[in-house]
Structure 1
């Protein structure tokens, strides 16, 4: 991170992952509204673990970029083996990627060896990954007091929602809205990272009165006055608000579109005799018919006993 590509690339990864989850959760809920149960990841028919493999590949690329490809010496340490101050953020970003890598690896292992505990433990590891991300962005070593800091502050709010809904999903696996909001928050996180990359490292998009300045080996946005800084932060807040509205509209529209394709294939469960009796227990006509049926059965029973007595 710290560059346009460093924000846009992981942003696209979160965006695609969020859309994949959003699609599958909505589809699963539309097809099985009565028996819907959330899933921390979704297999495909051809390659079962493709989602988890892609997370592992993306995390590995991110770690390599932060620690070996990005630095000028292609390694993040000083000649004496210590971590230089300007590379602290590289280690922080790589730690986030490492946590998501661990999540994906153990999700595969749990699916193979512990299917009964798979859901809860996989959700737990996902929560750990989001908690790690929130912690390191909140206690970031880079200077996040200016415009970049405002972007990161609002990014943390999306991560908080990801973390909260992941933890809630452990106790409420049948709640569609928990899964829906979690997927949408991952989408939002990806979109916001992409926006950050372009708005902070494209000179033509930087707020009026602010400029790019090279500090400690990377470029940061600085403003010429307090008024310009205040204006730039206010514009960031407006962008967040606009994106929140747009993504909310997208989410509901996305659900309605999928409902047209999958809503006609709703799962219907067959009721047993006792269940159908309970379903109709509130029907007045049903009770009347039951009473008539009962009286007829008693009459028939009496006739049978009378016939037996005559024969004797």
Structure 2
């Protein structure tokens, strides 16, 4: 994962899943605002388990890349069967992918075998996957003291939000806000991973006073002095704050657009028809009372009287 492609590829996966969930939760809530219950995953119209199978395929590809394709000699162990120090991060990244693989596999199995606790158990599996991701990024074996460490610190904040909202969704399945925040943070995770890949492994984007250094077969960003390091870390903080603003604007605009597309037309037509019917009834009552001069309940149905008839 310590390469540009190693960050962009999983980042694109998280972005797609987050965007899919964001779209699906907003659409479901707009169509059913009173009876909304958040599912853990969303079936597609043509193939029900497409989302889960894509997660499984991406996780298997990530594990294969980390353990059997990326390392030298195409296997992660030393000749004596031990794990070398420069491959520790490969096992950490593959363990994260393994947890997401188990989540998707068990989610599919729980859907195929109907159980009364299907939804909360699937939600629990999702929270365990995020907890594993947070734990291994927090206790990462790689040296993250420089700008790379600051990028990972911001990533851990996003993972914590995904984990906490997923866990809180077990007792509160009808909370749209939890589903909205969770989907947006998953999307943000993917976006931030892509940003990390370009900012840490593109020489032209390295901050002034810092450089890419090859250490034990891995390229890491180092800075010449403390002032350059402090500037690089501050730039990461500023960049993250800008992305917070941008993702927030995107999330609210995306919500407003989908609500206008799926929600307002249905609700406002219903309210408009009811109001028109009520207005017509009130107008009929007023006109009838003007003609007869008495309440409608006292007028025989099917007979019309004019003031001249009444005098006669």
Q: TM-score, normalised by structure 1?
A: 0.85
- Paired with 2:155 and 2:122, the residues of 1 have a C-alpha distance of 24
Is the 1:31–1:266 Cα contact (8 Å) retained in structure 2?
Answer: no
- Paired with 1:217 and 1:119, the residues of 2 have a C-alpha distance of 44
- Paired with 1:209 and 1:20, the residues of 2 have a C-alpha distance of 40
- Paired with 2:233 and 2:170, the residues of 1 have a C-alpha distance of 36
Classify the secondary structure of the residue corresponding to 2:169. helix
Matches within 5 A, 1:1-312: 1-263=1-263, 264-266=265-267
1:266 CA drift (Å): 4.5
Classify the secondary structure of the residue corresponding to 2:212. strand
Number of equivalenced pairs: 269
Classify the secondary structure of the residue corresponding to 2:213. strand
Unaligned runs of 5+ in 1: 270-312
Residue 292 of structure 2 corresponds to which residue in structure 1? none
Classify the secondary structure of the residue corresponding to 1:222. strand
Classify the secondary structure of the residue corresponding to 1:219. strand
- Paired with 1:61 and 1:236, the residues of 2 have a C-alpha distance of 30
- Paired with 1:132 and 1:51, the residues of 2 have a C-alpha distance of 21
Q: Indicate the RMSD between aligned Cα atoms, in angstroms.
A: 1.3
1:268 CA drift (Å): 11
Task: Render the CA deviation track for 1:6-62: whole Å, top value 9, x for unaligned.
Answer: 000000000000000000000000000000000100001111000000000000000
1:66 CA drift (Å): 0.1
- Paired with 1:57 and 1:66, the residues of 2 have a C-alpha distance of 14
1:89 CA drift (Å): 0.1
- Paired with 2:98 and 2:180, the residues of 1 have a C-alpha distance of 26
The structure-2 alpha-carbon separation of the partners of 1:103 and 1:203, relative to structure 1 and needing over 3 Å to count, comes to: same
Q: TM-score, normalised by structure 2?
A: 0.85
Residue 289 of structure 1 corresponds to which residue in structure 2? none
1:116 CA drift (Å): 2.0
Task: Render the CA deviation track for 1:210-261: whole Å, top value 9, x for unaligned.
Answer: 0000001110000001000000000000011000000000000001111121
The structure-2 alpha-carbon separation of the partners of 1:143 and 1:267, relative to structure 1 and needing over 3 Å to count, comes to: farther
Classify the secondary structure of the residue corresponding to 1:131. helix
The structure-2 alpha-carbon separation of the partners of 1:4 and 1:26, relative to structure 1 and needing over 3 Å to count, comes to: same
1:118 CA drift (Å): 1.1
